[in-house]
Amino acid sequence: MKVLHDHARHLGKEFVNAHDFVTLAVAFPMRAPAEPRSVQYLMVPFACRMYQPEGDSKLKMAANLAEQALKIVGQQQHIIFECDSWYPKKDVLNFVKDHDNVDFIANIRKDTALYQLPQRTGKRGRPRKYGQKFQTTDIVLTGQDKHYAVGMTKCMTKLFDQAVWIIRSQNCHEGERLFISTLPAQDLPELTPHKTGFWRILDYYNQRWKIETYFYEIKKFWSFGSYQVRSQDKIEGLHFIANLAYLLTQLLPQVRPEWQELRGQGISARKNALSRAITKERIFTSLAQAAQKHQNSEIILQFILDVGSKTRKNS
């Protein structure tokens, strides 16, 4: 996640003093009300840290955030760690390997070395760890939908010591992409009815896109793309406040009956509803209570009612 400072625009340059952030989001499975057989994931931001060149690497920061989240979620809960092709490297992979309850689904580089499963020869000595090396183009595309041609194979990589499932997808616009899963498709709970095999694995990876939507929303609707504070502590404090507001718009429709109609609406509608509720409860109600003790209470109350009527009319 990159954020551009306002003062960069005054210099007539783009991407000046951009800040990098490592963000971890946690997604919780929920049954879709309209389709009982389908599962929807509710994504909420867990933590965000600003990267400093003199500090930890982004990979180590991501692994540390994942460790913190795991302490809260618990070692008994099965976790699927999802990320784009930048993160399947040392620290993140070590986090996955160190926890038996964590599996991995990610986009990986197209030049990742792939090896066939080693064959038993029956000869004495230590068996081979890797079979013959092969190319991504050797993965046969056996399935196709309106947009993608997809194929999958079980093989070995240098990323993990055990066999993994590699999915190759091809699209005329995006070109070729590779995905990895440490879980076989049949061990993944069904998200969408009738999706099996590599489609089910890709269905899980698609849940990762919610964090890209979050990046867009936190900058557009909470103005995190134009902050003017300078110190790291203040930037991260501002980000915490923005995340808290974002979190409320995500959770309130799930837990409060009077907000349930907002479940199917966008983040802008949720934000407006939340701001109206705060205005009503913390401003109009507080002023009305204070006005009851004031000698000119009738005038103040009438003013509050007038402002409230105009606000509702404008809304």
173-186: per-residue pLDDT in tens? 778 999 999 999 99
Residue 76 belongs to domain with CATH number: 3.90.350
Q: Does position 283 have pLDDT exceeding 70, yes or no?
A: no
Answer with the one of 226, 254, 274 that is the final residue of a domain. Answer: 226
Task: Provide the number of structural domains found in the chain.
Answer: 2
Q: Does position 15 have pLDDT exceeding 50, yes or no?
A: no
Q: Does position 267 have pLDDT exceeding 70, yes or no?
A: yes
Answer with the one of 226, 245, 260 that is the final residue of a domain. Answer: 226
Task: Give the domain extent around 68.
Answer: 2-226
Q: Does position 311 have pLDDT exceeding 60, yes or no?
A: no
Q: Are 97 and 190 members of one domain?
A: yes
- Candidates 140, 154, 232; CA nearest to 186 is 154
20-38: per-residue pLDDT in tens? 889 999 988 877 666 666 6
Q: Are 112 and 259 members of one domain?
A: no
Q: Are 71 and 143 members of one domain?
A: yes
Answer with the one of 182, 209, 226 that is the final residue of a domain. Answer: 226
Between 266 and 85, the higher pLDDT residue: 85
Mean pLDDT of 195-218: 91
Mean pLDDT of 265-292: 71
Q: What's the confidence (pLDDT) of residue 69?
A: 92
Here the contacts of 36-44 (C-beta below 8 Å, separation 24 or greater) are: 37/190, 37/193, 38/191, 38/192, 38/193, 39/189, 39/190, 39/191, 41/207, 41/210, 42/250, 42/254, 43/207, 43/210, 43/211, 43/214, 43/250, 44/247, 44/250, 44/251
Q: Are 76 and 149 members of one domain?
A: yes
Q: Are 205 and 242 members of one domain?
A: no
Q: Are 208 and 263 members of one domain?
A: no
Q: Are 145 and 254 members of one domain?
A: no
Give residue 191's pLDDT band: very low, low, confident or very high (50, 70, 90). Answer: confident
Q: Are 162 and 237 members of one domain?
A: no
Mean pLDDT (the chain, rounded):
82
Q: What's the confidence (pLDDT) of residue 175?
A: 85
